[in-house]
């Protein structure tokens, strides 16, 4: 594996522009589906029961692109659904080269997402100084060195629109952001048309899956 001195160097070499360009459309499609769902089902989703779970519905609109296998054939990241707790919740985990990524909402562009065990455990991979020391004094053919990776998070948020979309590298204790890249600003030229045939097909499948879940939730009330 490659050893990097800091988070800026990590982003520069591991998450290149060509890789980053494939991430923005996924968030855009998820946002489009969520906004359409909210607009067309306002009476239900603005109710006392459903309003508190809107952030979860928004996240599902993004996550389902991975879970329902709706990614482009040439998507450059390997993806798996990672179990995060004992309640059957999963998050998509994307990996490429020497880094793996999770996707999470955040309060604002300068904030870490909410703390959770899986994020804390993943963040330990970003102990840059310790990795450098181990690399310097350990046999580099050691499998533990070869298989080790770094960790990043794609954060997004905004009340009525997608106000920010960042790639962040948290420190090893998940206390602060070591480096951040504004993906929305960088990739603002990447446009996804809601009228595109493939986009429509994906949107309908995601929408129908979420509506089915909402219907089941409503029946349990």
| Strands 90-96 and 150-157, bridge-based pairing | unpaired
| pLDDT at site 122 | 97
Instruction: For the chain, state the CA radius of gyration.
Output: 19
**Mean pLDDT in each 10-residue stretch from start to end of the chain (221 residues)?**
91 94 88 91 86 89 89 91 88 96 96 96 91 56 60 92 94 97 83 71 91 78 59
User: Nearest 5°: phi and psi at 90?
Assistant: -130, 155
121, HSE (Cβ side, Cα atoms, 13 Å): 6
Reported pTM: 0.87
- Listed by start position, the domains of the chain span 7-220
CA 220 from centroid of its chain's CA atoms: 30
| pLDDT at site 139 | 53
Q: Which helix (H) or strand (E) holds 58?
A: helix 54-67
CB-count burial class (<10 Å; 0-12, 13-18, 19+) for 113: buried
Cα(168)–Cα(206) distance, integer angstroms = 27
| pLDDT at site 199 | 80
| pLDDT at site 146 | 46
Alpha helical stretches, state H, 68-196: 117-123, 128-137, 143-146, 183-186
């Amino acid at each position: 594996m490659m050893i990097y001195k800091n988070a800026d160097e990590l982003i520069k070499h591991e998450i290149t522009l060509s890789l980053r360009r494939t991430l923005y459309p996924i968030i855009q499609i998820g946002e489009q589906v969520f906004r359409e769902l909210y607009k067309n089902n306002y009476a239900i989703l603005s109710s006392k029961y459903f309003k508190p779970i809107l952030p979860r519905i928004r996240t599902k609109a993004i996550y389902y692109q991975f879970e329902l296998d709706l990614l482009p054939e040439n998507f450059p990241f390997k993806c798996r659904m990672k179990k995060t707790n004992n309640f059957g919740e999963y998050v998509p985990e994307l990996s490429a080269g020497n880094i793996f990524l999770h996707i999470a909402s955040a309060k604002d562009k300068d904030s870490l997402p909410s703390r959770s065990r899986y994020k804390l455990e993943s963040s330990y991979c970003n102990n840059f100084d310790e990795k450098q020391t181990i690399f310097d004094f350990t046999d580099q053919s050691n499998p533990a060195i070869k298989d080790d990776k770094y960790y990043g998070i794609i954060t997004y948020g905004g009340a009525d629109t997608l106000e920010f979309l960042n790639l962040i590298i948290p420190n090893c204790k998940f206390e602060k952001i070591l480096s951040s890249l504004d993906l929305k600003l960088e990739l603002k030229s990447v446009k996804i048309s809601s009228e595109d045939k493939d986009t429509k097909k994906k949107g309908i499948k995601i929408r129908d899956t979420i509506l089915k879940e909402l219907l089941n939730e409503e029946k349990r009330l």
